[in-house]
Structure 1
Amino acid sequence: MMKMMKIVTLAFLFAGLFCSRASAGWDPADSDHARMSVDSFRANAGLSRFFDSAYGYVVFPDVYKGGFIMLGGGHGKGYVYELNNLVGRSTITQLNVGPQLGGQSFSEIIFFKSRGDLDDFKKGNYELNAQVTAIIVTTGMATNTDYSNGVAVFVLPKAGVMAEATVGGQKFSYESY
């Protein structure tokens, strides 16, 4: 009985990660949602230097992540900016392995230092591995943070509880408007 519950739980987890609403192109509400997400990150004074100096960035307003026993993952949709102009959409898919239990939601922003760094992302096969560390956004936290290989990643926790000691990665897609 316990084994069956684990299988059903994992099935629902992965169904939720990869199922989303259908979209028939540009939704005007997308630009409003993107702007509100960027504004929530801009509210942290410590990130202003990244907004001022980055060539581009991608913001994921809602990333949902969950894990059970030894397998977990996450998924979210985001918006890509180049020189502070909205130029496309992106998705983030996470997969991780190791002891974990729970679920959480968060917002994530990735700054790209140069045009070349953003162009690499826009090729659509961009991945961040376990060696890239996301900084949890707190007031004033970004004052001593800098780019690593042309990328700076920040996370704004929203809700949930999750305990994990995992190794995994994040894969991104890109679609221009």
Structure 2
Amino acid sequence: MKNIRQSLLNYSLLVVAILLVSGMSYGQSKKKVIEIRSDAKEAIAEFIEADWQMEKRFQESYGYVVFPNVGKGGLGIGGSSGNGVAYLAGVEIGMAKLSMLTIGFQAGGQAFREVIFFENKESMDRFKENKFEVAAQVSAVAATAGASADADYTAGVMIFTMQKGGLMYEASVGGQKLTYNPFD
């Protein structure tokens, strides 16, 4: 029994390490940055395709960050990681890194897209100053037809996710840490 627990712990730590190391964004090659920027544009189109009212969110928000591919996995201990593009008034202004470490009941893995809308300059500046962490009370809205119509900002942010694949019993966004790296 002790060996099984140790094996599960080792497996969980390995999953977390792989997720966190694989998503390191600031040593990225130009090719990788170009790919992430292209994927972010595609993700925006897919969010709008899933719910046409999302277009209004993209147009009216002060700024937003699009993570076209967030990987999440765990078995007891887990984590998530992703790279994205930050926009101000619809213009790309930099790259972003998302990371999260979780402990608790969870099992499996998943891939999803995520967009974080900033309501005003204050919330966007918190992100740009690397002082932004998704609060526990903030929840993500699944991007489906009509879902954005009734969504509202909480603490200056509004978050939407779109499942890409995988199955995971746990899907919170609270505790996500974001890091911003402006374009030169």
Same fold flag (TM > 0.5): yes
1:111 pairs with one of 105, 114, 117: 117
Q: What do you get for the CA RMSD once the two structures are aligned?
A: 2.1
Find the counterpart in structure 2 of residue 15 from structure 1. 17
1:37 pairs with one of 35, 43, 47: 43
Structure (1 or 2) with the greater strand fraction = 1
Runs of 4+ residues deviating >2 angstroms: 24-31, 164-168
TM-score, structure 2 normalization: 0.87
Give the Cα separation in 1 of the matches to 2:36 and 2:80.
Answer: 21
- Relative to structure 1, the CA distance from residue 57 to residue 166 in structure 2 (aligned partners, 3 Å threshold; closer, same or farther) is closer
1:132-157 Cα deviation digits (max 9, x unpaired): 01001111111111111221100001
Find the counterpart in structure 1 of residue 138 from structure 2. 132
1:167 positional shift:
9.2
Stretch deviating more after TM superposition (3-12 or 20-29): 20-29
1:46 aligned onto 2:53: yes
Correspondences of 1:1-177 after superposition (within 5 Å) = 1-20=3-22, 22-24=27-29, 27-43=33-49, 44-69=51-76, 71-164=77-170, 169-177=175-183
Aligned-partner residue type, residue 50 of structure 1: R
Stretch deviating more after TM superposition (46-55 or 106-115): 46-55
Aligned-partner residue type, residue 69 of structure 2: D
Consecutive unaligned residues in structure 1, runs of 5 or more: none
Secondary structure, counterpart of 2:152 in structure 1: coil
Stretch deviating more after TM superposition (130-139 or 161-170): 161-170
Any conservation in 1 of the 2:106–2:169 contact (CA below 8 Å)?
yes
1:13-63 Cα deviation digits (max 9, x unpaired): 022112227514574333322211221112221312211210110000111
Give the Cα separation in 2 of the matches to 1:32 and 1:65.
Answer: 21
Aligned-partner residue type, residue 134 of structure 1: A
- Relative to structure 1, the CA distance from residue 164 to residue 29 in structure 2 (aligned partners, 3 Å threshold; closer, same or farther) is closer
Any conservation in 1 of the 2:138–2:173 contact (CA below 8 Å)?
no
Any conservation in 2 of the 1:111–1:152 contact (CA below 8 Å)?
yes
Any conservation in 2 of the 1:98–1:167 contact (CA below 8 Å)?
no
Stretch deviating more after TM superposition (78-87 or 143-152): 143-152
Percent sequence identity over aligned pairs: 34
Aligned-partner residue type, residue 143 of structure 1: A
1:165 positional shift:
8.5
Give the Cα separation in 2 of the matches to 1:97 and 1:34.
Answer: 29
Consecutive unaligned residues in structure 2, runs of 5 or more: none
- Relative to structure 1, the CA distance from residue 76 to residue 111 in structure 2 (aligned partners, 3 Å threshold; closer, same or farther) is same
Stretch deviating more after TM superposition (80-89 or 138-147): 138-147
